[in-house]
Amino acid sequence: MNKYLKKHLANFLTLVLFVSVTVVSHSQDGEKLFKANCASCHHPVKNATGPKMQGVLQKWEDNGEGDLIYEWVKNPAELYNSGKSKMAKAIWDWSPTVMTPQGHLSEDEVKSIFAYVDAYAPPVTAQGPATDDTVYEAEDETVSFWWWIIIGLMVFVLFATFGVRRELSEVIAAKEGQAVDPKKTFIVSARQWALRNWFVTVLMFVAVALFSGIELFGRLYQVGVYQDYQPSQPIAYSHKLHAGNMGIECRYCHHSAEKSKHAGIPSVNVCMNCHAVVHEGPQYGTEEIDKIHLAAGYNKAKQAYNLDANGFRVEQPLVWNKAHNLPDHVYFSHAQHVHQNTGNIDCRQCHGPVQNYTLGRVSTTEEVNAYATTDEGMEKGIIQLTKPILTMGWCIECHNKKEIDLASTGYYEEIHNRLKSRADVHNNILEDDKVTVKELGGWECAKCHY
């Protein structure tokens, strides 16, 4: 980024911060109250389910009803029915939706809400990449490309130097009157050199072979390993915002995780539960949320769905890119792992600290292990593993470590009862005083491959 731009931006941000700090001191309560009581329908500067609130107080005051507004907030119907307020009648006629009475708010509290609203300035949305999130995009390609060019150049220089050296020595030889052997080409001389210094040659050869062997093996080992994979998506959805900042539970959106093998990419109607009202995000403004509305066929101005001639919604499905991919021959069930009566595993055991990512991404083992050592991770019983995520080694490593509480549910109780009648097997399993998934068959091929 341009240095000047950065500087200007920083100045601007400081200014904004300064201004807002002065406001904040006045309307701190107001903000809290606004968010708790009004924000589900009202926006300070935009019409939502209810009208925008900035300047409303002024309007009532202009009409000479500055006192009545508190009655309106406490019980709109009563004020309207009393017939003493023109403003009340005007609002009533403007929209058929009746505002929920807010009888519990005191006059002061309402005042502080209006104070907050009137002082509200929309946050400045910085253009360009987010300041706090790393957007994972495949950028390393260009880097490696330059590396290759440099290596190529070096090789060229190396050969050129050899060539020049040869030419020079030939010139010297000619000057000194020695015969130049025309058969002694570059290759021949190289071979002679190699024969003379055979030990160095062998050493070099072994080193190169060893190096490329290890490199090849390592590369092959990474085939099919999708750690850190984060495909781009049609909507710049941020897990960090939703699951992190707002603390929305994973299974609110990925709700089939408990029922089905698929956790599922949320359907648009789940987004619309909130975004029917929330039309603007903190980072991209309306741009990204408009995409949801387009997909759902939602007209946010009319607050209604667009219908076609047959009465069906005009929908445009979203095409997402799947981040977590398993081969066809692997059967994996989310329900088996996360349902409280089955595995009861926290989502982060496999998906890592998703609350820190923006787009969906395959976590890395290191991240999960780091998370496991945090207080939260320990509380959730996250197990530390070594193999790369989404590989079979990782699956079975966990199956070997994860313990099953045989007394937990009716299902496992029955299994336990049966086991008790087979002393040989029972003792074998209980040798280390714990029962793992593996010991109940979690390492068997047909549990996952069919």
**Using rule CB under 8 A, residue 419 touches other proteins:** yes
Of the candidate residues 93, 139, 176, 424, the single one contacting other proteins (CB under 8 A)? 424
Q: Considering the rule CB under 8 A, would residue 218 count as an interface residue with other proteins?
A: no
- Read off φ and ψ for residue 307, nearest 5 degrees: -115, 145
Q: How many residues bind other proteins (CB under 8 A)?
A: 65
d(CA 185, CA 54): 88
Q: How many CB atoms lie within 10 A of CB 1?
A: 8
Backbone angles phi, psi at 281, to 5 degrees: -105, 165
- C-alpha 103/C-alpha 109 separation (Å) is 11
- DSSP sequence for 349-404: HHH--GGG-SS-----HHHHHHHHTSHHHHHTTPPP--SPTTSHHHHHHHHHH-B-
Q: Which of residues 302-321 bind other proteins (CB under 8 A)?
A: 310, 312-313, 315-321
Q: Which of 23, 241, 274, 440 binds other proteins (CB under 8 A)?
A: 440
445 binds other proteins (CB under 8 A): yes
Q: CB-based contacts of 161: which residues, under 8 Å, 6+ apart?
A: none
Q: Assess 289 for contact with other proteins (CB under 8 A).
A: no
226 lies in the site for other proteins, by CB under 8 A? yes
Q: Which two tokens stand for residue 376?
A: 């939260």
In the bound state with other proteins, the residue whose beta carbon lies nearer, of 325 and 436, is 325
Q: Name the residue nearer to other proteins (CB basis): 142 or 340.
A: 340
Asked whether the beta carbons of 41 and 277 are under 8 A apart, the reply is yes
Q: Which is nearer to other proteins, 35 or 322 (CB)?
A: 322
Helix (H) or strand (E) holding 386: none
Amino acid occupying residue 211: F
User: Which position among 119, 295, 435, 437 is part of the footprint of other proteins (CB under 8 A)?
Assistant: 295
Q: Where are the alpha helices (DSSP H) in 99-139?
A: 107-119
Residues contacting 89, CB < 8 A, separation 6+: 80, 83
Q: Which of 47, 75, 189, 325 binds other proteins (CB under 8 A)?
A: 325
The encoded tokens of residue 171 equal 């010139």
Asked if residue 195 binds other proteins (CB under 8 A), the reply is no
Which of 34, 72, 114, 229 binds other proteins (CB under 8 A)? It is: 229
Contact call for residue 7 and other proteins (CB under 8 A): no
The binder of other proteins chosen from 259, 304, 376, 403 (CB under 8 A): 259
Q: What are phi and psi of 299, to 5 degrees?
A: -100, 105
Binding interface with other proteins (CB under 8 A) = 219-220, 222-224, 226, 229, 231, 256, 259-262, 264-270, 295-297, 310, 312-313, 315-322, 325, 327-329, 331, 333, 335-336, 339, 341-342, 409-411, 413-415, 418-419, 421-422, 424-425, 440-441, 444-447, 449-450
